[in-house]
Amino acid sequence: MSSIDPAFAAFLDRLPKAELHVHIEGTLEPETIFALATRNGVALPYPDVETLRAAYAFSDLQSFLDIYYAGASVLLTEADFHDMAAAYLARAEADGVIRAEIFFDPQTHTARGVAMETVIGGLTRALDAARARGVSCDLILCFLRHLSEEDAFATLAAAMPFRDAFIGVGLDSSEVGHPPSKFARVFAEARRQGLRIVAHAGEEGPPAYVWEALDVLGAERIDHGVRSLEDAALTARLARERVALTVCPFSNVRLRVCDRLEDHPLKRMLDAGLSVTINSDDPAYFGGYVGANWRETCAALGLSRDEAIQIARNGFDAAFVDESERTRLVARLDAAIAADGI
């Protein structure tokens, strides 16, 4: 592991952060998976926590998703969804997260007979409690791209009675072979409903998927987008339009998008003028929450204080908040920087 000046590491830990790319089902720790399996009488294909954790040796996105969906099968009740989100929010707060935009995958649950109301109700109760403690947070509903357009439409319809509980929609799951354009009409309907738009693109899929996310879905941010650098015209556009990319360094290493953190394209993306942010994706599976992603990425890539501050600012610039909320969040960032004597 690369070394880092302890004072810089402490500065990064204290830095107020926005986390804009975290899947709530990806925050289920192995111990929690087993506790919920016992609580709910769900059988798991792993005998114990150690065996499950040992299976977290992924070769690509799909090898992870297979285990991630198996892990999520223990979630049945409103309390399960509440407890999962409450644990994440407490953990994120400890890492200095003051704004969290949290993905959830309702189809993973509704396909098992869990009601949309149970999923959204439990998550919302946890978010309300965090808001009461001063954490700014919202939910983004993600469609599973390996499922059909029809299923996505049915999911959007089932969620609309809870329209006030989420601010936007996204697109996740198996990327290659499921281009954004498959969901053009669903996202058009979501835009008509006033929802904010994001999409995973350019994680394993080609730059063409990033173009489609922007031009066909109307994505306002790109989740991952690390392969954008392969296309100079795309890179220039993303930079010119200040489209934020929610980059997840630990995820990219664990899913073999890049070999080592030292090889991660984040610094090259910054140098190309891209608005990158640092996020944890599925922290229970990828070896660390957002604070560890920040510390280790800054160390591995030799990022400067100014670069770290720029990445933090990018997160608040890209957050889906109104301008008064953005001003309040940025003021907290500025106050923390000033307090550190920079």
Beta strands at 221-224 and 168-172: parallel, antiparallel or unpaired: unpaired
Closest to Zn ion by CB, 238 vs 247, is 247
Q: In the complex, what is the shortest distance from the CB of residue 23 to ligand ADE, in angstroms, rounded to a whole number? A: 4
Residue 136 binding ligand ADE, by CB under 6 A: no
The full length of the chain comes to 342
Q: In the complex, what is the shortest distance from the CB of residue 147 to ligand ADE, in angstroms, rounded to a whole number? A: 12
* 325 vs 319: CA distance, rounded Å: 10
Q: Is 189 a catalytic residue?
A: no
Closest to ligand ADE by CB, 16 vs 179, is 179
Residue 26 binding ligand ADE, by CB under 6 A: yes
Residues 274-313 that bind ligand ADE (CB under 6 A): 281-282
Residue 221 binding ligand ADE, by CB under 6 A: no
182: Cβ contacts below 8 Å, ≥ 6 apart: 145, 149
Ordered DSSP codes for 50-85: HHHHHT---SSHHHHHHHHHHHHTT--SHHHHHHHH
Closest to ligand ADE by CB, 72 vs 308, is 72
Q: Which of these is catalytic: 29, 203, 204, 296?
A: 203
222: Cβ contacts below 8 Å, ≥ 6 apart: 198, 199, 200, 201, 202, 210, 213, 214, 228, 238, 243, 244, 245, 246
Write down the residue that tokens 């016992």 correspond to. 38
Q: Is 288 exposed, middle or buried (0-12, 13-18, 19+ CB in 10 A)?
A: middle
Q: In the complex, what is the shortest distance from the CB of residue 57 to ligand ADE, in angstroms, rounded to a whole number? A: 16
61's contact among ligand ADE, Zn ion, none, with CB below 5 to 8 A by partner kind, is ligand ADE
Q: What six digits make up the tokens of 51?
A: 């065996």
Residues 164-193 that bind ligand ADE (CB under 6 A): 172-173
Other C-beta atoms closer than 10 Å to the C-beta of 208 total 16
Closest to ligand ADE by CB, 222 vs 333, is 222
Instruction: Say which amino acid occupies 110.
Output: T
Instruction: Say which amino acid occupies 12.
Output: L
Q: Is 194 exposed, middle or buried (0-12, 13-18, 19+ CB in 10 A)?
A: exposed
* 104 vs 120: CA distance, rounded Å: 9
26's contact among Zn ion, ligand ADE, none, with CB below 5 to 8 A by partner kind, is ligand ADE
Q: In the complex, what is the shortest distance from the CB of residue 200 to ligand ADE, in angstroms, rounded to a whole number? A: 5
* Residue number closest to ligand ADE, CB atom: 172
**Total residues contacting ligand ADE (rule CB under 6 A)?**
11
Q: In the complex, what is the shortest distance from the CB of residue 190 to ligand ADE, in angstroms, rounded to a whole number? A: 18
Indicate which single residue of 61, 97, 201, 300 sits in contact with ligand ADE (rule: CB under 6 A): 61
Residue 227 binding ligand ADE, by CB under 6 A: no
Q: In the complex, what is the shortest distance from the CB of residue 280 to Zn ion, in angstroms, rounded to a whole number? A: 9
Positions annotated as catalytic residues are 203
Q: Which stretches of the chain bind ligand ADE, using CB under 6 A?
A: 23, 26, 61, 68, 172-173, 200, 203, 251, 281-282
